[in-house]
């Protein structure tokens, strides 16, 4: 496949972001780092970061961290590997296959699939199963809107998302650390919940490749690994699909993966988390603080269905 | 009376050890200086990427530094026996103490930043999680070695008992590597490299003493 010579928009650091970073560094230095440290460890603040009402009051995690500290094993297991290895990732053209228990099985161009759906900004907390968290301003569509457009059948109880399998572009897929391609899934009621989105942007810009361009799942009350990136297939199923981390290490990673401070990972506590940039850990909240999803799991033993 | 090595028996040359020690000190302190620059001065002097998670960086660097310096400490004796440069022996205590310093910074960054010095949660975490327990034990094993590292202690204990006690560095080395291997989500190359180095050093000791 020939690669075009002109740079993809995602390769160019927008000037505004570059300038912001300079300003931020100057400001942090001027503010006196010592004072900030004593004040309780909020370290990398962006004071004039944009805010959207009714989503999250937390300080936004800086752009550098959101786009430079990523778990995307397709591009390497180190946190800075994805940014380094994903810059030439091709996201145009991009198509998504819709299959399984759906009124019409077919492949859509991404633009066609998104056409007419409303892209909102959502500021969500993101809690990684490893014990760190961020606050991210996503831009995306409600998954609910897309599912309603696609029209799953009565038999559809789950939705499955598959990441691109391309060993040439995604060097991490050459090592057998996980069963590729990456697959994640949601129960239908979880998928239809208004908090669940498919993100196509972050900080008002197109999603950088290291964040799962061109389209990825975001489920804010679940651990980050549920958010499948660079999605090429959406499949509606009757039975619970197998999912990648659950298949790899079932004892450590469940299908549900709801953020839960009371259910520890076998190797570490989930009671606290480190918000990136802060020095001291903070308490982890049930459902990552999104209590409105609790009714989805009424009567379920969440220690068993972790 | 210092024993003259058969190789460097040329007419009493200047002792190069004190000068070399200055350099070794500088190298051993460099990780702390770079960490401080990257975290508090945004890499003004040493560059590097934006630090997303300063505590993770502190813990990774101090842990890695402790392990590398411990491996270097273990390498001294086989190196001396193979090369005949006996003076390297005089760096062993310095290296061992720096390994302990980094291990202590590593452990205390966990006590302070992760656990806010609360003894209950610390005890629970250490006892419940094998990889933390293993790392903690490695640090505990290094404590008596650091304490008895002075000439006074060597004299008081007698060389034989002192030597026996200081064999604890082997299990400590094994536990540190295990601690690193165990904390990754999937098997990664870096901890395997350190495991291999440790095994090579063990084999080298056995080989030269055979």
In B, which residues are within 8 Å of A177 by CB distance?
186-187
A165 bridge partner residues: none
Kindly state whether residue A32 falls inside one of the protein's structural domains. Answer: no
Taking alpha carbons only, the member of B189, B161, B200, B176 closest to residue B68 is B176
* Strand, helix or coil for residue A283: strand
Structure tokens at B119: 């003894």
As a whole number, the mean pLDDT across chain B is 90
Interface of B with A (CB under 8 A): 40-42, 49-50, 52-56, 113-114, 116, 121, 125, 129-131, 182-183, 185-188
Q: Do B113 and A280 touch (CB under 8 A)?
A: yes
Distance CA A285, CA A293 (A): 13
Q: A236 lies in a domain? A: yes
Contact A8, A93 (CB under 8 A): no
Within a domain: B11: no
Residue A290: closest CA among A219, A228, A226:
A219
So what's the pLDDT on residue B135? 97
Model ipTM value: 0.75
Distance of CA A234 to the CA centre of its chain: 16
pLDDT of residue A14: 44
* Total number of domains in chain A: 1
Residue A109 forms part of a structural domain: yes
Asked whether residue A150 is assigned to any structural domain, the reply reads yes
The confidence score (pLDDT) of residue B50 equals: 82
pLDDT tens for A19-43 read 444 434 433 443 343 333 333 323 3
Report d(CA A199, CA A142) in Å as an integer: 9
CATH of the domain at A58: 3.90.420.10
Percent of chain A surpassing pLDDT 70 = 81
User: A-B interface: how many C-beta pairs under 8 angstroms?
Assistant: 59
Nearest 5°: the CA angle B85, B89, B92 is 140
A71 part of a folded domain: yes
Instruction: Please tell me the total count of domains within chain B.
Output: 1
Determine what percent of chain B is predicted with pLDDT higher than 90: 72
**pLDDT value for A1:** 38
Burial A48-60 (b: 16+ CB within 10 A, else e): ebeeeeebbebbb
Q: Residue A273 is encoded by which pair of tokens? A: 């988390």
Quote the domain boundaries for residue A278. Answer: 44-297
Using the structure block, give the residue that is written with the tokens 């165990």.
B182
> Whose CA is closest to A86, among A73, A75, A78?
A75
Q: Which residues pair with A133 in a beta bridge?
A: A127, A275
Interatomic CA distance for residues B37 and B41, integer angstroms: 5
Q: Worst-scoring range by mean pLDDT, A9-23, A209-223, B11-25? A: A9-23
Please compute the mean of the pLDDT values over residues B26-51 and round it to a whole number. Answer: 90
User: What was the pLDDT predicted at B49?
Assistant: 78
DSSP A62-73: PHHHHTTS---G
pLDDT per position as a tens digit, B155-170: 999 999 999 999 999 9
Cβ contacts (< 8 Å) between A268 and chain B: which residues? Answer: 129
Taking residues B122-146, report their average pLDDT: 94
pLDDT digits (tens, 9 = 90+) for A112-123: 999 999 999 999
Residue matched to tokens 């550098």: A64
| Chain A positions in Cβ-Cβ contact with residue B121 (cut-off 8 Å) | 269
Residue B172 lies in a domain: yes
3-state SS, residue B196: helix
Chain B residue closest in CA terms to A73: B186
Question: Residue B141 half-sphere exposure, CB side, CA atoms within 13 Å?
Answer: 20
pTM strictly above 0.80:
no
User: What domain range includes position B172?
Assistant: 19-209
Position B100 scores a pLDDT of 98
**pLDDT grade for A7, boundaries at 50, 70 and 90:** very low
Using a CB–CB cutoff of 8 Å, tell me whether A281 touches chain B. yes
Is A268 contained in some domain? yes
């Amino acid at each position: 496949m020939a690669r075009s010579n002109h740079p993809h928009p995602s390769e160019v650091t927008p000037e505004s972001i570059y300038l912001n970073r300079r300003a931020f560094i100057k400001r942090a230095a001027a503010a006196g780092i010592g004072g900030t440290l004593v004040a309780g460890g909020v370290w990398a603040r962006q004071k004039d970061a944009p805010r959207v009402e009714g989503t999250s009051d937390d300080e936004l995690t800086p752009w550098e961290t959101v786009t430079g500290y990523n778990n995307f094993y397709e591009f390497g297991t180190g946190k800075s590997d994805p940014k380094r290895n994903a810059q030439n990732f091709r996201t145009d053209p991009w198509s998504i296959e819709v299959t399984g228990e759906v009124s019409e099985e077919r492949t859509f161009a991404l633009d066609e699939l998104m056409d007419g759906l409303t892209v909102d900004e959502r500021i969500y907390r993101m809690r990684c199963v490893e014990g760190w968290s961020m606050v991210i301003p996503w831009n995306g569509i409600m998954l609910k809107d897309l599912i309603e457009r696609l029209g799953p059948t009565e038999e559809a109880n789950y939705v499955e998302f598959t990441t691109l399998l391309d060993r040439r572009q995604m060097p991490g897929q050459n090592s057998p650390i996980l069963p590729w391609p990456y697959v994640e899934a949601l129960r239908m009621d979880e998928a239809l919940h208004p908090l669940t989105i498919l993100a196509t942007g972050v900080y008002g810009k197109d999603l950088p490749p290291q964040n799962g361009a061109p389209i990825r799942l975001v489920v804010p009350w679940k651990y980050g690994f549920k958010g499948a990136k660079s999605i090429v297939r959406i499949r509606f199923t009757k039975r619970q699909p197998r999912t990648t981390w659950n298949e790899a290490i079932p004892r450590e990673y469940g299908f549900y993966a709801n953020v839960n401070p009371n259910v520890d990972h076998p190797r570490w506590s989930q009671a606290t988390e480190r918000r990136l940039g802060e020095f001291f850990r903070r308490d982890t909240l049930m459902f990552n603080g999104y209590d409105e999803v609790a009714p989805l799991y009424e009567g379920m033993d969440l220690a068993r269905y972790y | 009376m210092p024993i003259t090595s058969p190789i460097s028996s040329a007419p009493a040359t200047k002792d190069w050890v004190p000068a070399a020690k200055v350099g070794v000190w500088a190298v051993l302190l460099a990780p702390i200086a770079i960490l401080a620059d990257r975290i508090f001065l945004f890499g003004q002097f040493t560059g590097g990427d934006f630090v997303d998670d300063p505590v993770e960086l502190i813990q990774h660097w101090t842990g890695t530094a402790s392990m590398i310096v411990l491996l270097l400490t273990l390498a001294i004796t086989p190196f001396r026996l193979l090369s005949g440069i006996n003076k390297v022996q005089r760096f062993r205590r310095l290296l061992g103490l720096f390994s302990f310093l980094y291990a202590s910074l590593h452990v205390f960054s966990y006590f302070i930043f992760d656990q806010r010095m609360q003894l209950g949660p610390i005890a629970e975490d250490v006892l419940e999680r094998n990889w933390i327990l293993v790392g903690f034990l490695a640090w505990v094993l290094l404590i008596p070695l650091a304490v008895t590292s002075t000439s006074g202690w060597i004299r008081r204990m007698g060389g034989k008992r002192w030597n026996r006690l200081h064999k604890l560095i082997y299990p400590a080395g094994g536990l540190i590597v295990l601690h690193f291997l165990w904390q990754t989500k999937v098997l990664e190359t870096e901890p395997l490299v350190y495991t291999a180095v440790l095994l090579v050093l063990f084999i080298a000791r056995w080989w030269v003493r055979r």
